[in-house]
């Protein structure tokens, strides 16, 4: 089923208002949820909304909390999210990184005691909209085994890199596992095999069977040992810079809350030469002869296509989850 963007946003806002979110905060959060579904990231849009509501009801996400500054040194600042809504804390901190980059050329904000920021790419798009190069990442609860190990000890710590561009920003939004748990469930529910191996089966063999992988809990990091190392580095950076909780501590607490994030902005000189260089990179990459009926896209290109379709034909919603949200 497809619904107008505004219908989703207004419904989310109605629910959040009933949970003691101020009008402004409810509007901001509702917009981010609706935008994620609009852009095709259903797992962090409509489909995640009931989980977010549960976290608010459990008191893990505090609607009235505001981020407070811990300390700052030049272009580097540390903020405490005070367990407020993750999207608001993250949006605030990326906004602060944008201000620091405008002043110093580059800026970095580390955030502790926050909550799930939902779609990671949101804050990359935010930086790019402000004309900034944006880099951000978060840690998470452990859901990925390290290379060489069988039990989850690493987070799926997504990494976002965004470059502003007049014809459509270039935004990489990359989690560390080859497939998210949400994607694995989607394939499983459709009775489909994965296009490439996404983890291990119970015998320890690489598998394209989503049910087997969900059962073994041995999801594959991108590039095996490489993604495993990258996940650990992002957790270390977030933990050390924010002085917050590592994946280890979040996991020991039992709930994915009080995690930490890093937001870096760099001020590019987007003169004509730089803009031409960006187009040249995209055009050159696209001259690669398509393989196996494939299509060479730049990061964010498919997002823009989905966005356009959603705004024209309505945002796709899972009717079952939509009914749940309407009843909240």
- Judged by CB under 8 A, does residue 59 bind its own copies? no
Closer Cβ to its own copies, 2 or 286, answer by number: 286
* Radius of gyration of the chain, Cα coordinates, nearest whole angstrom: 20
Tell me how far, at minimum, the Cβ of 20 lies from its own copies, in Å. Answer: 34
The answer to whether residue 104 is catalytic is: no
Annotated catalytic residue within 44, 104, 116, 169: 44
Cβ contacts of residue 294 below 8 Å, gap of 6+?
Answer: none
- Judged by CB under 8 A, does residue 284 bind its own copies? yes
* Binding footprint of its own copies, residue count (CB under 8 A): 86
Both tokens of residue 3? 């619904």
- Judged by CB under 8 A, does residue 222 bind its own copies? yes
Q: How many whole angstroms separate alpha carbon 326 and alpha carbon 328? A: 6
Q: How many whole angstroms separate alpha carbon 126 and alpha carbon 132? A: 9
| H helix or E strand, kind and range, residue 113 | strand 106-114
Q: Do 156 and 177 meet the contact criterion of CB atoms below 8 Å apart?
A: yes
Closer Cβ to its own copies, 107 or 210, answer by number: 107
Chain centroid to Cα 268, Å, comes to 23
CA 82, 122, 158 angle in degrees (round to 5)? 80
> CA distances (Å), 105 to each of 90, 100, 162, 276, in order?
20, 7, 16, 22
Residues from 113 through 172 that contact its own copies (CB under 8 A): 133, 145-154, 159, 161, 163, 170, 172
Per-residue string for binding with its own copies, 244-273, x by CB under 8 A?
A: --xxxx-x------------x-xxxxx--x
- Judged by CB under 8 A, does residue 311 bind its own copies? no
- The one among 68, 192, 223, 311 contacting its own copies by CB under 8 A: 223
- Judged by CB under 8 A, does residue 41 bind its own copies? no
Tell me how far, at minimum, the Cβ of 180 lies from its own copies, in Å. Answer: 12
- The one among 41, 235, 256, 322 contacting its own copies by CB under 8 A: 235
Q: How many whole angstroms separate alpha carbon 316 and alpha carbon 148? A: 40
């Amino acid at each position: 089923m497809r619904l107008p963007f505004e219908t989703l946003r207004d419904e989310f806002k109605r629910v959040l208002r009933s949970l003691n979110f101020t009008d402004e905060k409810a509007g901001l959060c509702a917009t981010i949820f609706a935008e994620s579904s609009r852009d095709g990231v259903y797992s962090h849009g409509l489909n995640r909304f009931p989980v977010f509501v549960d976290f608010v009801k459990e008191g893990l996400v505090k609607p009235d909390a505001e981020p407070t500054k811990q300390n700052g040194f030049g272009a580097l600042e540390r903020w405490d999210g005070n367990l407020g809504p993750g999207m608001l804390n993250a949006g605030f901190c990326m906004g602060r990184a944008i201000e620091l980059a405008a002043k110093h050329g580059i800026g970095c904000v580390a955030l502790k005691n926050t909550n799930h920021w939902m779609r990671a790419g949101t804050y990359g798009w935010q930086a790019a909209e402000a004309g900034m190069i944006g880099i951000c990442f978060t840690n998470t609860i452990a859901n990925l085994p390290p290379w060489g190990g069988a039990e989850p000890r690493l987070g799926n710590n997504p990494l976002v890199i965004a470059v502003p561009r007049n014809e459509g920003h270039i935004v990489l939004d990359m989690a560390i596992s080859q497939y998210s748990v949400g994607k694995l469930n989607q394939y499983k529910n459709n009775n489909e095999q994965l296009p490439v191996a996404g983890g291990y089966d119970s015998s320890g063999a690489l598998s394209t069977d989503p049910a087997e992988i969900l059962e073994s809990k041995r999801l594959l990091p991108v590039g095996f040992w490489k993604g495993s190392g990258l996940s650990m580095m992002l957790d270390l950076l977030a933990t050390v810079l924010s002085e917050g909780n590592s994946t280890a501590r979040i996991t020991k607490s039992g709930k994915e809350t009080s995690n930490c994030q890093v937001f870096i902005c760099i001020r590019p000189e987007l003169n004509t030469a730089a803009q031409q260089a960006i187009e040249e990179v995209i055009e050159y990459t696209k001259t690669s002869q398509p393989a196996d009926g494939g299509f060479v896209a730049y990061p964010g290109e498919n997002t823009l296509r989905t966005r356009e379709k959603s705004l024209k034909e309505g945002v796709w919603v899972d009717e079952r989850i939509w009914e749940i949200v309407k009843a909240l």
